Amino acid sequence: MESLSLPVLYGLIAIMIVLSAYFSSSETAMMALNRYRLKHLVKAGQGGAKRADALLKRPDRLLGIILFGNNVVNFFAGTVATLIALRQFGEVGLAVAPFVLTFVFLILAEIGPKTIAAHAPERIAFPSAYILSPMLRLLYPFVWILNASANAIVRPFIKDAGDGKEEKLTPEELRTVLHEGAHLPLKRRGMLLSILDLEHATVDDIMVPKADIFGIDLEDDLDTIIEQLCASSHTRVPVYRGSINDVVGMLHLRNASRFLRNPEPTKAALMQETREPYFVQENTPLHTQLLNFQKEQRRIALVVDEYGEVKGIVTLEDILEEIVGEFTSDLAARIPEIHPQDDGSFIIEGTALLRDINRSLKWELPTAGPRTLSGLVIEHLEFIPEASCCLRLGAYRLEILQVKDNTVRSVRVLPPPPAGA
């Protein structure tokens, strides 16, 4: 190399910088690829994505070929720089050359290319895969020796060294991806997040309470039963004897129409149109109950506690509303217990469920304990309050309006002002 002129040596240095920049950017780009988008592109048949995916299945080999190439280039550049320093500056140049070469390579062959690759990994990684793949096949024996030696050293410190096993996203990580990285419309993102949240709620969180269940009591006279069926706005209603705890069947009003068309309807004829009731435990998670509804081919279930006593009713529509939101945009129709006031406050009945209040009004009342507003107030105060009692729950101011039968019947709630107001 002593016969080479200085322009040729400087040209070699420039080539080494370009090659080092290529290897550095390729390493960063390959490791920065979004693995889930990569899978999508592989399924779509993108050639560069297929090659990059094949390389990433064995990251030890990929890093081996990249680092091998980069180190060869850097060492060769160091040799050339030494020759240039000796020719132009003598022995003094030997002391200066390492600092100059390090500075130039850090800027032009490390920091710059890696920053670009981190911001646009696909634009670097996919074309680079067409070069790295044949390089790996050509130098495979040498890379294999490097990896075998490296794996022998790191094996005591990590499990399955070099296997490249794919990590799975946890529900919490997936929720973070949806919150921060998903390019989805807000409504669809909310639906996906709601599906993940189903495992944190149970059927008794969304059920219609026992006191609000509409049903047909067989102990009523026939005229009353017929009047109730004609006036019912429900598609399916429970049929019971005396008490809702003694449910004998579920009646679909489509079947009830046959009973009503009978010129001489009887309670026995009504019972023939019912279907065996379906019971579920109160602590059944919503995602499990959704699958149970599909498995049992049911749309409505009676919720019971550990003693078999009916606590409420849950329907398939109730679970679907947890995912897609309410099927109506009218606040009063969604939750009749909420009454908006002209001054911006809300008068809310104590039986209103906290989950429904939060979902409808976009509030953040605590839901970890009691399920109703009355229960939340009593738990916070630790005693049954009197009317006109006021309290603060976080940013919400509450005024007790009515207390009856040891429960809070109605509360005026003043929500916090909007952010920035």
User: Taking the domain 331-414, which CATH number applies?
Assistant: 3.30.465.10
| Verdict on whether the full-model pTM lies above 0.85 | no
Select the more confidently predicted residue: 36 or 252. 252
- How far apart are the C-alpha atoms of 48 and 53, rounded to whole Å? 8
Q: Decide if pLDDT at 141 tops 50.
A: yes
- How far apart are the C-alpha atoms of 381 and 345, rounded to whole Å? 21
Which tokens sit at 5?
């002129």
- How far apart are the C-alpha atoms of 210 and 302, rounded to whole Å? 9
Q: Decide if pLDDT at 332 tops 50.
A: no
pLDDT of residue 182: 57
CATH 3.10.580.10 location in the chain? 205-319
Which tokens sit at 271?
């019972």
- How far apart are the C-alpha atoms of 411 and 337, rounded to whole Å? 10
Region at 400 (left for phi over 0; alpha for psi -120 to 50; beta for the rest): beta
pLDDT in tens, 113-124: 999 999 999 999
Task: Pick the closest to residue 308 from 402, 245, 378 (CA basis).
Answer: 245
Band the pLDDT of 255: cuts 50, 70, 90.
Answer: confident
CATH 3.30.465.10 location in the chain? 331-414
Percent above pLDDT 70 for the chain: 93
pLDDT of residue 59: 86
pLDDT in tens, 201-254: 889 888 888 888 899 999 999 889 888 888 888 889 999 998 899 999 999 988
Q: Which fold has domain 205-319?
A: CBS-domain (3.10.580)
- Of the segments 59-63, 181-185, 288-292, 358-362, which one has the largest average pLDDT value? 288-292
Supply φ then ψ for residue 156, to 5 degrees.
-65, -20
Helix axes 59-89, 140-154, angle to 10 degrees: 110
Helix axes 6-32, 47-56, angle to 10 degrees: 80
pLDDT of residue 29: 92
**Average pLDDT in the chain:** 85
Percent above pLDDT 90 for the chain: 33
Q: Which residues contact 401 (CB under 8 A, 6 or more apart)?
A: 347, 387, 388, 409, 410, 411, 412
- How far apart are the C-alpha atoms of 6 and 4, rounded to whole Å? 7
Task: Pick the closest to residue 284 from 243, 319, 255 (CA basis).
Answer: 319
Under 8 Å between Cβ of 347 and 339? yes
pLDDT of residue 161: 44
pLDDT in tens, 46-97: 888 999 989 898 888 898 899 999 999 999 988 888 888 888 877 777 788 8
Q: What is the mean pLDDT of residues 314-330?
A: 78
Q: Decide if pLDDT at 420 tops 60.
A: no
Under 8 Å between Cβ of 310 and 244? yes
pLDDT of residue 165: 52
Band the pLDDT of 166: cuts 50, 70, 90.
Answer: low
Band the pLDDT of 398: cuts 50, 70, 90.
Answer: very high
